[in-house]
Amino acid sequence: MATIDAGMETGRTLIYRHSLLVRLSHWVNVLCLTVLLFSGLQIFNAHPSLYWGQYGADNDPSFIAMEGVQDGDQAKGLTHVGPFTFDTTGFLGVSNVDGEPTARGFPAWLTIPSYQDLATGRRWHFFFAWLFVINGFAYLAYGFLSPHFRRDLVPAGKELTPAHLGHEVVNHARLRFPKGPEARHYNTLQKLTYLAVIFLLLPLMIGTGLTMSPGFDAMAPWLLDLFGGRQSARTIHFLTAFSLVAFVIVHVAMVILSGVFNNLRSMITGYYAIEPEEKQ
């Protein structure tokens, strides 16, 4: 790990934190996941209901559904989650398109393209899905062949003790971020979160996405057993997508709170500044 002294008087040290491949695959991922989310919502809008099992269509019970209903002379957007119904007019079920309340699952500003066009949404989704998969394989190959996963992401045994984890949770809640030598590495909560995203959520997106393909099902029917059917897979795909959105929100908040400039520089140039520990 290269080290540059950034100034004797401040005691700040620049370390080379992110390799070129990690930085590149990170930003390609940002692009892919952004397009995949918004084109995915376009696809969802073609049939904004989710089911569990092998089949599911209009006459079968859904457990998440959005619809537009006519209430007097007003269009009302309703979102059903299990036995509960929420009035989500303006956002889900019914939202404005060119100033006119229109029945659609997610609003125009969250879909690619903004207007209803399933064919185009699919073209975008599958193109960026391929890019995402190729990028993911390159990253995984690098992660396993280089020391990246072993050195940066796998927590040491002592990091997993309840006392240590509790300590980190408290520090996170107080927005106290590590300084000095400890800041050279990801903390344990970071490691566990990144591992969950890389090895659980993202593979789950790909696995459930492929299960929705009738062609891929013929090759790998075990996917249907794994996820409990094509409609279950569609539901898991949707829920996992929003788990990733939740991850991104927390991730971006942490990037901002723990030093937005330093973090962005390290993910662009690779160099990350370590602040000295406060003198006792």
- Contact pattern from residue 73 through residue 112 relative to another protein, giving x for each residue in contact according to CB under 8 A and a dash for the rest: ------------------------------------x--x
Task: Give, as ranges, the residues between 15 and 44 that touch another protein (CB under 8 A).
Answer: 38, 43-44
Name residues contacting another protein, limited to 197-236 (CB under 8 A). Answer: 212-219, 221, 224, 230-231, 234
Residue 122 binds another protein, judged by CB under 8 A? yes
By CB under 8 A, which span of 57-65, 75-83, 160-168, 181-189 interacts with another protein?
Answer: 57-65
Residues 6 or more apart whose Cβ sits within 8 Å of residue 44: 105, 106, 238
Listed residue (212, 236, 224) closest to 129, CA to CA? 212
250 binds another protein (CB under 8 A): no
Q: What are residue 150's DSSP bridge partners?
A: none
Q: How far apart are CA 96 and CA 109, in angstroms?
A: 10
How far is it, in rounded angstroms, from Cα 75 to Cα 13? Answer: 59
Q: Provide, rounded to whole angstroms, the least separation between the CB of residue 231 and another protein.
A: 6
Out of 37, 129, 205, 236, the residue judged to bind another protein by CB under 8 A = 129
Residue 261 makes contact with another protein by CB under 8 A? no
The residues with which 4 forms a beta bridge, in sequence order, are 14
Whether cis (ω within 30° of 0) applies to the bond prior to 113 is: yes
Report how far apart, in Å, the C-alpha atoms of 109 and of each of 42, 65, 116, 122 are: 10, 20, 11, 17
Residue 262 and residue 273 in contact, taking contact as beta carbons nearer than 8 Å? yes
Query: Quick one: which of 16, 52, 63, 127 contacts another protein (CB under 8 A)?
Result: 127
How long, in residues, is the chain?
280
* Nearer residue to another protein within complex by CB, 120 or 190: 120
For the chain, how far is it from start to end, CA to CA, in angstroms?
28
Binding segment for another protein (CB under 8 A), chosen from 72-80, 141-149, 152-160, 251-259, is 251-259
130 binds another protein (CB under 8 A): yes
Please give the residue ranges that form the binding site for another protein (CB under 8 A): 38, 43-44, 46-47, 49, 51, 54-60, 109, 112-115, 117-120, 122-124, 126-127, 129-130, 212-219, 221, 224, 230-231, 234, 253, 256-257, 260
